[in-house]
Amino acid sequence: MDNDKLSSKTAGKPIRCRAAVSRQPGEPLVIEEITVAPPGAYEVRIRIICTSLCHSDITFWKLTVPPACFPRILGHEAVGTQVLDWDCESECGWRVVSASPTRQGIKVGL
């Protein structure tokens, strides 16, 4: 799908996408459809091209004591394309690489 079509169709709206979800420590991951809120201030929407599970994902997947938190979405090392900016003024279509654990408010190089 063309990035411009995706950004114009979904600007300001939640989207549905797939995620590898861990419901309980050590249980098999399940690919589930989830709802993702629209980007807030200083956030962007990224179409993920590829992601992987690393050692820290496996560590958190096995945790049974704090900071264990379930359900949890794994796969924080991703490559993708920016498709929507919080103000829709920046250029969509940039390639994005993040090797940092992602969480709300983290800055991603675009």
Listed as own residue / partner, the contacts of 95-98 with beta carbons closer than 8 Å and 24 or more positions apart are: 96/44, 96/46
Residue 106 lies in a domain: no
Element (H, E) at 4: helix 3-10
In-domain check, residue 104: no
- Residue 24 domain-assigned (yes or no): yes
- Type of residue found at 95: R
Q: 71 lies in which domain range?
A: 3-98
Domain CATH code at residue 20: 3.90.180.10
- Number of structural domains in the chain: 1
| 110 inside domain | no
The answer to whether residue 45 is domain-embedded is: yes
What confidence tens digit (pLDDT) does each residue in 29-84 have?
999 999 999 888 777 788 888 888 889 889 889 988 887 889 999 887 887 777 76
Q: Which residues, other chains included, contact 16 with Cβ-Cβ below 8 Å and sequence gap of 6+?
A: 33, 34, 35, 36
- Decide if 42 is inside a domain: yes
Query: Would residue 107 count as lying in a domain?
Result: no
Report the predicted TM-score, pTM, of the whole model to 2 decimal places. 0.63
